[in-house]
Structure 1
Amino acid sequence: MQNPLIRYAVEVGWTYLPPDEALRLRRGETGIVLHEVLIRQLQRLNPGAVDDVVKAEEVIGRLTRVMPNIEGNLQAWEWLKGLKTVFVAAERRERNVRLLDPDTPEANTLHVTDELRFISGTKTVRPDAVFFVNGIPVIVVETKAAHRVEGIAEAFDQIRRYHREGPELLAVLQVHALTHLVRFYYGATWSLSRKDLYNWRAEQAGDFETLVKHFFAPRRVLRMLTDYILFARKDGELSKVVLRPHQMRAVERVLQRCRDPEKRRGLIWHTQGSGKTYTMITVAKRLLEDPAFGNPTVLMLVDRNELEQQLFTNLEAVGFGHVTVAQSKRHLYELLRSDQRGLIVSMIHKFDDMPANVNTRRNIFVLVDEAHRSTGGDLGNYLMGALPNATYLGFTGTPIDKTAHGKGTFKVFGVDDQPKGYLDKYSIRESIEDGTTVPLHYALAPNDLRVDREILEREFLDLAELEGVSDVEELNRVLERAVTLKNMLKNADRVDRVAAFVAQHFRETVEPMGYKAFLVAVDREACALYKEALDRHLPPDYSAVVISRGHNDPPELARWHLTTEKEQEIRKAFRRPDALPKVLIVTEKLLTGYDAPILYCMYLDKPMRDHVLLQAIARVNRPYEDEEGRKKPAGFVLDFVGIFDNLEKALAFDSEDVQSVVQGIDVLKERFATMMAEARCDLLPLVSGKPQDKAGEAVLEHFRDREERHRFFEFFRELQELYEILSPDPFLRPYMADYEELARMSRLLRSAYEPAILIDRGFLRKTEQLVREHTETYFVGPPKGMARLTVEALERLAASDQPDTVKVFNLLKAIRDLVEEEGTRSPFLISIGDRAEAIAQAYQDRQATTQETLQQLQILVQEYREAREAQNLIKLSPEAFAVYWFLRKEGVAEAEEVARRVGQALERYPHWRLSEEQGRELRIALYKVLMDAGIETVIEVAERLLKMLWRKDG
């Protein structure tokens, strides 16, 4: 993957730099930038400010000496963005320094190199590919071969390791990318959660060449570095994001619309959870920073106090200069009338009764958040009347409902030249495919816990005034009149039975997955009732009530009021998997704008529909992945009202817009049953009726083909995701024995064929628990009682009466374990381990039979015995003996004498791994010794020896 990636990058404008040339320009293996290139470009881009080499070196020093952490990464980005300054003595002032030119790609010098070796202290990292702009490393790429089952996970682990072991280099790098055949992912450096890894999708074809060429197009890379990276500081903690593909696309389309003097409208639907707020913020920054827009006014509108504060917090967090918040209708009017420039944040209701033509300037850009509800009634008319020549851009997290066409949102923002009136659309289906959100599933609670269907229809679902309801306050007003329905929902006996059901379901289904839950009650009083009831079935600290406070609340409600500080504490604790509470009881607060990826389950006991329902259930669609790589398979809604009994009434949108938004649990049961039927037909006969060793042999032989193995891993991954969601449903009982057998197969194959991956990494929590408690692995690994991996132990393993296939994999595992345990003290084992891996690869590729492979491994075991015996006779240091054994296997006549001289050189240069000078001197000494010994391929042999000795320390 590495070679074609570089080739395609070169074809779109990057220049390939061989590693030795990159090393020269970096001035050694501790160097970060390409000095000559950066000095030249600094002088070109900053005439009058950076005119001499001394000043350029000063800038380079400041850039490369940033702190080796995310704080330093922010400073490095500020250099790239042109926000840092140098003092110009002749002008007696500070001037901003430009390190790159994002508007003129051809003015920049672009390089890509591979196998870049960087030394940090005692550690060395060697990224597969690094991209430089004007000599500054900006993107690091890790590639994995297509046959690696967990290729992306392995590549991401490498990126994480680079942060730990080469932080000085990573402090300057801004973006990382991972590729595994046609899959291509990217993310921001110093943002190392799996959920922040994004699927790169080109608008055209999805083949590898197209993906690479579109991602590394110079104009796109420069724009990404300067405009699509955001640093946010919240609660004193700095975080970093890079925009996803759909966000970049939307920003560019919005700006294109803003430049068009003939078109003044745009509607952007990016489904809930796909980063709409950061898209809006990036649009605002670009509008204000681009001189082409003539120092404009950007007006950001929201519709509720909480959202206004949230937006302001986000703006502040990303370091958005000066922001003016309209405090009142009068204040907003004065700001607009006085021709205020820059960014203004206001709530939409402050336009109520606003006079016409308050400001007729054309470079006013109005960005409306949650546009599906913000411009209802006459507010849209007042807004457009006050600013008649402004450009209006509506952002919504839910699709436009069927009732809205021709009025409301469409009247203000919809445009005729785009499909369905959207300037940009990122649907629910697309977000699930990309992993931006996870699928949603639902189940109906038992009939005796749900409300009467006839009353639900009459007092709620059949009400015309609720069609397209977009605001929870509007919904609450309707529910206030649904007296019978509310009384049913808050019936004391029902509340207690629902609480008991919720507690049991949470304990048995949600908690074992490691996730958390919301209980959504019909109103604030119901929240209080549920808290008291839930405390009878769960520990009190498991749950917390989060509701807004009323001035005249009775004591039974007032006792659940929270201070602002306490509410913030609960919000933060809920996001952490290891902290309490585990269940939040809510009715209105937190149903919009609150993101907690750990949230998996919503117990829904409040009638909802349309936009309000979509926004609420979207709380559980955020991706989550833990440090072990276990991912949240889906979000889940347990419906105690019966809303999902009639999805067409609950979600009045075009069917293609809400396609796959939420699926019933019965669909998953059908899929699980179908897959188990396939497994019983195609997979389980492999082991049926066979003793353990024969069963294991059959599985290993059947799955020697890599493609066949990959298909099984994908099959079992989907199957266990279904199991994770369904367990412990009684529906699973007839399948449990067979499912355990498939889990054993998966464990065996991962252990045998994917030794670099932790075996349990492929298991979700419930399957991992099942494997730990109920299943035994077939046989892979040394037999019980083999405490130490001695020569004799390996020989017993080779001579055991197990089937040959079993012996092959047991010997391979034992040799791998031996190299891992003893390689540091006995580096000669590294070359034995390398040959074992080559034997294993040939076996997997069917280039050798089982018997041939077993013979080759037995020869290695015999070689191990000979090496141990020789080591006792020949008095050499462990490193020198490793050289001796390597040269002996290469047929070098005077191997012992050569090894002794190499050992002396190693003693002369003990810090050759850390010191560039000692490393160079050792190479020279090594070349001389090898030439004196008459070896023809001196450089090749020397490099192989140094690579072996380097690996001695991991």
Structure 2
Amino acid sequence: MRRNLFNWKHDQVGQLEAKIKSFCAIPQLLDFLQHYIVFAEKDEELNKYILRQHQTAAVDASVGRALDPHRRRGLIWHTQGSGKTFTMIKAAERLFRAPEADKPTVLLMIDRNELEDQMLKNLTALGLGNLEHASSIARLNQLLKDDYRGIIVTMIHKFRDMPVDLNTRSNIYVLIDEAHRTTGGDLGTFLMAGLPNATYIGFTGTPVDRTAYGKGTFKTFGCEDDKGYLHKYSIADSIEDGTTLPLYYQLAPNEMLVPHETLDAEFLSLAEAEGVADIEELNKILERAVNLKNFLKGKARIQQVARFVANHYLQNVEPLGYKAFLVGVDREACALYKHALDAVFTEMGLPPQLSEVVYTGNNNDSALLKEFHLNPKKERQIRKSFGKLDQHPKILIVTEKLLTGFDAPILYAMYLDKPMRDHTLLQAIARVNRPYENEAQEKVKPHGFVLDFVGIFDKLEKALAFDSDEINAIVKDLKLLKVLFQNKMEAQAPAYLGLIERNFNDKDIDTLIEHFRDPERRKQFFKEYKEIEMLYEIISPDAFLRPLLDDFATLSGIYAIVRKAYSTTVPVDREFQRKTNALVQQSVSASQLQARGILEAVLINSETIELIKARQGGDGSKVINLVKSIEKFAEDHSDDPFLIAMAERARLVQESFEQRQTSTSEALAELFAAIRQNEIRKQEQAEKGFDGLTFFVYRSLLNAKVNNPEAVSTRIKAAFVAYPNWKRSDNALRELRNQVTFAIYAECDELEQVTPIVDELFTLLQKADRIG
């Protein structure tokens, strides 16, 4: 898939030769094979991952810093979704295997239980013998006290109350995930006092904030680098590379937003909320925000928001083919939203399975909360089904679980009804920025989307305490896409709309055929149209679009005509995205449908030439129509090599026509000649009583002066009958080729002709699958 390809950058920007030489250098390729491939499990399947350039650079920087005798600190910021876990795994492995490290201890400190399990599985897949899981404080202290050499995976909080000078070796390397959290209490003090000579490399998925917490992170990990970071892969870098997608937000209607004074007083202006780095920490702050939570969980508001979410999802998100999160302020809000959504969907005649709730249950929960407790098996099934395009649920209702570490590329929209800020906000909204591509459906996710029911994004400077350039890269107002759509319609569309004078009549069709005869011109139009169409799909339905709808529908009609005329394959269900298709169906008039009918295939027979001559329209349209008709006829008779060869010749005529190597009248004459030749062939074939395959073989043998051509062609036909699945089975194909070859070989005086005859036959027949 294209989404699994990545750009290789070089210092000399734009120097392709330098880029190729640097990437393809033998040491570089061997380095990738030896050091930068990870096998990891996803959705219960083992996958192979090759690290991207920013990951390999961070691994090299981490190993270099760890082995530097003069420096002991480093901070790596790789934005959410850019593969930070694999970077840590490879850095740990490289350090463990490095001879200069002299049998080291490598500590991998993880901040979540589920990530700890995944990390252990991935490290085990590397085949490392020295791997330990410190599942308790006592076990961790014992391993370090006993001077264990190898990799230790543990949770960050296992360092609580660690004794001073527990191990004073210098070849201890500590890799800390989500390092911005370790400065929030005494954990850093215990850790660094217990391992005073260790090297500490901090990893973070969010930029370091401008609060006291952020200053502490730089002081702890970034003190030995001029700009605070040992290696940085910012949000802007990630979006530019396509590692993650841009994020756009939209505010919900005012009546559903939290009153500004309540949001400010009980959340945004609280000193303890600044730099909040953990959802558990955020939840403690929200527990005290009584008025805020009462507003968010008001019965009437829950009903109103649920109805809005249901309608928005069905009108805006589901037609795009993606899924959504609804984030409630707490577990009770999630349960209330589930009931409310079920009622709305039932009212619409839709199944309640469209949504599911996922949160952690407790034994002392209320009856309402216990209603949505999940056992581990059920939760795994929900997670897996959510990642599938055609399976329920379509909306997951969450509050804490799945807001970190859960990757579902098909997730496009987040309905945010929980006040969040700084790191917690970034980690949450990053769930929707994962790239997704489905080649079978020609679907490429354009960006992630957040619909804010709280009002957080109305005060971005307060909600995100990061440098302004980082904030600008993080999330943008959806209004910008409306401006972009209008600008494209005003700047790009008029040149195309001006080609239509009489509502897609014959003259208009001829104009389009001639104007887009040049393949590069078509390519540019297709690109521009698809960009405009995707913007329409994202924005629609919206009153903003009304003044532009007629022009967009006409532009879509032009696209349909040109694509149908010149593309080799145009599946009807993929010609347009879903919302655009509905608009076109409503807007296309009878005359437009008639105009499109001009390009419908005609039957190839003795009357075809006169039929085409009698048709209205210019010769350019007739050339395209004939090529399409011949291809369709060959597709319908894919066992006839003559027709397959005829379709190949027709394609060559069209290519020559498009490149203006052949005039329109010359192209039409060549196609007419091909049809006449086919009629002569059909008459000869009928006289012999052969089918298409047998007659083609007979004519080939006759031309090659093979003895007894009628008998040989009959034997070859029998061989094809004996191996009907030869296109799907390599063994059957091999046996069939052998029998065909032996049949000709037995009657051929010039043996060097045998292989070319067999090759031509099978080449044509195998092309049949690609006709049309």
Query: TM-score higher than 0.5 here?
Result: yes
- Counterpart position of 2:684: 870
Is residue 2:754 matched to residue 1:754? Answer: no
- C-alpha change, 1:689 and 1:916, in structure 2 (3 Å) is closer
Which position in structure 1 is the counterpart of 2:298? 491
Superposed counterparts of 1:369-448, under 5 Å? 369-403=177-211, 407-417=215-225, 420-448=227-255
2:523 aligned residue? 710
Q: Residue 512 of structure 1: which of 319, 333, 339 is its match? A: 319
CA contact (8 A) 2:716 2:740 kept: no
Pick which of 719-728 and 679-688 moved more. 679-688
The 1:923/1:287 distance shift into structure 2, 3 A limit, reads farther
Q: How does 1:849-888 map to 2 (within 5 A)?
A: 849-874=663-688, 878-879=692-693, 881-882=695-696
Residue in structure 2 matched with residue 328 of structure 1 by the alignment: 136
Counterpart for residue 726 of structure 2: none
State the secondary structure of the residue aligned to 1:442: strand
SS of 1:538 mapped into structure 2: helix
Structure 1 CA distance for aligned equivalents of residues 160 and 53 of structure 2: 37
User: What SS does the aligned partner of 1:246 have?
Assistant: helix
Given that 2:707 and 2:747 are in contact with CA atoms closer than 8 Å, whether structure 1 keeps it comes out as no
8 Å CA contact 2:693–2:717 kept in 1: the answer is: no
1:948 equivalent among 749, 760, 764: 764
Cα distance between partner residues in 1 of 2:625 and 2:737:
44
Aligned match of 2:283: 476
Distance 1:689 1:737 in 2: 15
The structure 2 residue matched to 1:549, chosen from 361, 364, 387, is 361
Tell me the distance in 2 between the aligned counterparts of 1:228 and 1:901. Answer: 61
**Is the Cα contact below 8 Å between 1:828 and 1:883 reproduced in 2?**
no
More helix by share: 2
The code of the aligned residue for 2:69 comes to P
1:165-564 equivalent positions in 2, closer than 5 A: 195-202=3-10, 204-206=12-14, 208-233=16-41, 236-312=44-120, 314-315=122-123, 323-403=131-211, 407-417=215-225, 420-539=227-346, 540-564=352-376
d(CA) in 2 for partners of 1:414 and 1:279? 18
How far apart, CA to CA, are the structure 2 residues paired with 1:368 and 1:476? Answer: 24
Please say if 1:811 is aligned against 2:597: no
Matched residues in 2 for 1:238 and 1:920: separation? 43
Map 1:719-734 onto structure 2 (within 5 A). Answer: 719-734=532-547
Contact 1:795/1:861 (CA < 8 Å) preserved in 2?
A: no
Give the whole-Å Cα distance in 2 for the aligned partners of 1:823 and 1:528: 58
User: How far off is 1:917 after superposition?
Assistant: 9.2
SS in 2 for 1:596: coil
Tell me the distance in 2 between the aligned counterparts of 1:240 and 1:446.
Answer: 45
Whether 2:508 is the aligned partner of 1:695: answer yes
Amino acid at match of 1:507: L
Structure number with greater CO (CA < 8 Å, separation at least 6) is 2
Aligned-pair CA distance for 1:523: 1.6
Alignment pair present for 1:568 and 2:380: yes
CA pair 878-350 structure 1, distance change in 2 beyond 3 A: same
> Quick one: structure 1 residues 620 and 908, their matched pair in 2 at CA, closer, same or farther if it must change by over 3 Å?
closer
Q: Contact between 2:74 and 2:225, CA under 8 Å: does it hold in 1?
A: no
1:666 CA drift (Å): 0.8
Choose the corresponding residue for 1:665, options 460, 467, 478: 478
Structure 2 CA distance for partners of 1:631 and 1:953, relative to 1, 3 Å: closer
SS of 2:55's equivalent? helix
Letter in 2 for 1:582: K
Partner amino acid, structure 1, of 2:455: G
Which residue in 2 is equivalent to 1:186? none
Task: Return the offset for 1:213.
Answer: 3.7
Residue number in structure 2 paired with 1:677: 490
**What is the one-letter code of the residue matched to 1:849?**
S
Q: Would the alpha carbon gap of residues 794 and 260 (structure 1) be closer, same or farther in structure 2, given more than 3 Å must change?
A: farther
Shift of 1:840: 0.9
Pairs aligned (count): 751
User: Is the partner of 1:547 in helix, strand or coil?
Assistant: coil
Question: Matched residues in 2 for 1:264 and 1:901: separation?
Answer: 85
Report if aligned partners of 2:355, 2:393 keep a CA contact under 8 Å in 1.
yes
Residue 444 of structure 1 and its aligned partner are, at CA, apart by 0.4
Distance 1:499 1:812 in 2: 53
Residue-by-residue CA offset, 1:886-907 (whole Å, 9 max, x unaligned): 799xxx6x77979669848958
**2:601–2:625: 8 Å Cα contact kept in structure 1?**
no
SS in 2 for 1:279: helix
CA contact (8 A) 1:472 1:588 kept: yes
- Specify the SS of the correspondent of 1:715: helix
Unaligned residue ranges in structure 1 (runs of 5+): 1-155, 157-193
Q: Which residue of structure 2 aligns with residue 827 of structure 1?
A: 641
Q: Is the 8 A contact 2:565 2:599 kept in 1?
A: no
Which residue in the other structure is 1:86 paired with? none
Contact 2:657 2:667 in 1 (8 A): yes
Query: Which letter maps to 2:396?
Result: L
User: What is the rounded CA distance, in whole Å, between the counterparts of 1:877 and 1:550 in structure 2?
Assistant: 74
Q: Is the 8 A contact 1:747 1:759 kept in 2?
A: no
Q: CA RMSD in A?
A: 3.3
Separation in 2 of the partners of 1:746 and 1:377? 60
Structure 1 residue 328 displacement after superposition: 2.4
Flag structure 2 segments of 5+ consecutive residues without an equivalent: 347-351, 724-731
In the alignment, is the contact (CA less than 8 A) between 1:415 and 1:423 conserved in 2?
no
1:636 partner letter: F
Shift of 1:350: 2.0
Using the TM superposition, give the Cα deviation of residue 607 of structure 1 relative to its aligned residue in structure 2, in angstroms.
Answer: 1.0
632, 643, 653: which one pairs with 1:839?
Answer: 653
Deviation at 1:484, TM superposition (A): 1.9
Corresponding letter in the other structure for 2:81? G
Cα distance in structure 2, aligned partners of 1:376 and 1:243: 31
**Whole-angstrom CA distance in 1 between matches of 2:452 and 2:126:** 38
Residue 729 of structure 2 aligns with which residue? none
State the SS of the aligned residue for 1:500: helix
Contact 1:265 1:391 in 2 (8 A): yes
TM-score by length of 1: 0.73
Instruction: Please give the per-residue CA displacement for 1:229-277, whole angstroms capped at 9, x wherever unaligned.
Output: 3333456433333323322332233223333333332222111112111
Q: State the SS of the aligned residue for 1:536.
A: helix
With 381-390 and 636-645 compared, the bigger mean Cα shift is at: 381-390
Aligned residue for 1:88? none
Provide closer, same or farther for how the CA distance between residues 211 and 930 of structure 1 changes in structure 2, counting only shifts above 3 A: farther
Q: Secondary structure at the match of 1:657?
A: helix
2 CA distance for matches of 1:561 and 1:231?
33
Secondary structure (helix, strand or coil) at the match of 2:444 reads coil
| 375-384 or 319-328: bigger deviation | 319-328
**Structure 1 position 592, deviation (Å):** 0.4
The percentage of counterpart residues that share the same residue type is 49
Report the alpha carbon displacement of residue 318 of structure 1 after superposing the two structures with TM.
6.6
- Give the superposition deviation at 1:611: 0.8
Per-residue deviation, residues 528-562 of structure 1 (Å, max 9, x unmatched): 22222222212432222222224432222232222
SS in 2 for 1:269: strand
Deviation at 1:413, TM superposition (A): 1.9
Equivalent of residue 595 in structure 1, options 396, 407, 423: 407
Deviation sequence 1:402-449 (CA, Å, 0-9, x none)? 23687322122215446x322222222222232222221110011111
Partner of residue 434, structure 2: 622
Q: 1:668 to 1:233 in 2, by over 3 A?
A: closer
What is the 5 A alignment of 1:568-587?
Answer: 568-587=380-399
CA offsets per residue over residues 166-220 of structure 1, 9 Å max, x none? xxxxxxxxxxxxxxxxxxxxxxxxxxxx644444445544555455444433233
Aligned partner letter, 2:303: D
Change (3 A) 1:478 1:629: same
Kindly indicate whether the alpha-carbon contact (under 8 Å) linking 1:887 and 1:895 is maintained by their aligned counterparts in 2.
Answer: yes
